[in-house]
Structure 1
Amino acid sequence: MSVGYLTMDDGPSDITRDIIDYLTGRGIKPVFFFTGQNIEKRMEEGVYAIKKGAIIGNHSYSHPNFEQLTLEQCISEVEKTEELINELYKKAGEVRKFKLFRFPYGARKLNESKEFQEYLKNQRFCKLDDMHITSEWYDREGLIEGVDVLWTYDFTEYRIQNDTSLTYDDLVARIHEKKQGSSDSLLNEGSRHIVLLHDHEETNAVISRYYQKFLDYVMLHGVDFIEPEFRYLS
């Protein structure tokens, strides 16, 4: 068996309610990384997710590539979304306990990376507890030292929207891939992961309830999704 935290990017969307209802039924507590623009469009879906137990993280306001922005622009993207996330929690009547941030596209190698990481730290952002993540790549890249939340396994199911040759079976086969000499496979016995799915109605239009299909599949093959735990960098 392997274990993982479930994270979902890019919501809220028109299917967020269906996703959270499914996850609640399976006893999975997710971290949703919302964009500010989508919160503005679907405030009630975000409130619903919080009321159902989801934790909401910051995925920027407009989903730009942060590696192409100035430090000031990066901070503006974060702060605009922070205001909206705080509004979600207020509307939901819930106390916001954790502040988390994930870079759009995972593009975290800023010219001013050190300054931005210090900003996150000073603003009391925390991260998913990654002290026992088993990914060799995660360790090699020094991701344990960042305040931002990355991932160790991405289903990449969003690719199906634009690639008509890509199928559900192709993505399932990828789940079983093992890199030679690496323990990074999602299904590797005893491994621990941060798993990424996306909250996209466009993917749902191609594969109905894709989130359920992928998550049911990996759970059937030994992945246990655990409740998120967090840590602060000193």
Structure 2
Amino acid sequence: MTTSYLTVDDAPTETLPEKLAILEDHDVPALFFCEGRRLAEYPDHARQAVEAGYHIGNHAYSHQHASELSVDDVREEVAKTEALVEDVYADAGVTRPARLFRFPYGDKGGERADRFQEVLEAEEFTPPDPSRIEYDWDDENRDGDRDWYWTVSVEDWEADSRAELRDHVAAVDDRFDQPGDDVVLFHDGGNTPALFEAFLELLAERDVEFGDPLDLVN
């Protein structure tokens, strides 16, 4: 049996409170990677997530491809979002447990990737412990990097119904049959609460157990 660690990108949206209630009903921990522009619009929703015991990370400010940005652009995108994340934790009265970052689209920056990792290192971002998520195909791509990757994506942004989402989940069944744990990617932006709950139910049908993503922090 595998353990899945749920990470939710493009948060917070106007429906995040409903999704938090769904997570609570299903007893599933989660890590929300937040866009700065969305934090500016829905700070109270992010605060509600933190107060409920969930965690939020930095997903840059405007959700652009890093490979299309300069080092200074990425530094600003990260810093602006960091200030908003810090405000959320301060307003919630919760000590921030770790600084976590994920690149939008998983785009690590192409030819400037090493420079962008220097930006993340300077901001003291912490990646998931690679010894906990062992997949040889990805090891050399993430060795020493500070950003959060994922090992399972069901491409939920392309599913408009529970039936379509079921097909997407079935397409990655082999991942859940393999030994080892998974970092699972889903989205807040572009999803309804109904599809969010359907995803949790579809994984429960496969006896997937959920762990706290912070357990992956070394």
The verdict on a shared fold, with TM-score over 0.5 as the criterion, is yes
Deviation at 1:42, TM superposition (A): 0.5
Query: Which of 174, 177, 192 is 2:171 aligned to?
Result: 177
Alignment partners' CA distance in 1, 2:166 and 2:179? 20
Query: Which of 166, 186, 191 is 2:175 aligned to?
Result: 186
Identical aligned residues as a percent = 29
Instruction: Please tell me the residue identity of whatever aligns with 1:153.
Output: V
Q: Are the equivalent residues in 2 in contact too, given 1:135–1:192 (CA < 8 A)?
A: no
Query: Which of 196, 201, 215 is 1:216 aligned to?
Result: 201
Equivalent position SS for 1:100: coil
Equivalent position SS for 1:130: coil
Q: Are the equivalent residues in 2 in contact too, given 1:175–1:187 (CA < 8 A)?
A: no
Segments of 5+ residues of structure 1 without an aligned counterpart are 162-166, 179-183
Equivalent position SS for 1:98: coil
| 1:38–1:106 distance in 2 versus 1, CA, 3 Å | same
Question: Which residue is 2:191 aligned to?
Answer: 203
State the aligned residue count.
217
Question: Which residue is 2:131 aligned to?
Answer: 131
Alignment partners' CA distance in 1, 2:130 and 2:20? 24
Question: Which residue is 1:181 aligned to?
Answer: none
More helix by share: 2
Instruction: Please tell me the residue identity of whatever aligns with 1:169.
Output: A
The worse-fitting range, judged by mean Cα deviation, of 13-22 and 76-85 is 13-22
State whether structure 2 residue 8 is matched by structure 1 residue 24. no
What is the TM-score when the length of structure 1 is the normalising length?
0.85
Equivalent position SS for 1:120: helix
Question: Which residue is 2:73 aligned to?
Answer: 73
Q: Are the equivalent residues in 1 in contact too, given 2:152–2:183 (CA < 8 A)?
A: yes
State whether structure 2 residue 130 is matched by structure 1 residue 145. no
> Which runs of 4 or more aligned residues in structure 1 lie more than 6 Å from their structure 2 counterparts after TM superposition?
none
Q: Are the equivalent residues in 2 in contact too, given 1:187–1:222 (CA < 8 A)?
A: no
What is the TM-score when the length of structure 2 is the normalising length?
0.91
Deviation at 1:196, TM superposition (A): 0.6
**Alpha carbon RMSD of aligned pairs, Å?**
1.9
Equivalent position SS for 1:213: helix
Deviation at 1:39, TM superposition (A): 0.5
Alignment partners' CA distance in 2, 1:122 and 1:29? 28
Deviation at 1:13, TM superposition (A): 0.5
List aligned pairs for 1:10-89, cutoff 5 A. 10-89=10-89
Alignment partners' CA distance in 1, 2:171 and 2:40? 39
State whether structure 2 residue 163 is matched by structure 1 residue 156. no
Deviation at 1:177, TM superposition (A): 3.1
Instruction: Please tell me the residue identity of whatever aligns with 2:176.
Output: L
Question: Which residue is 1:106 aligned to?
Answer: 106
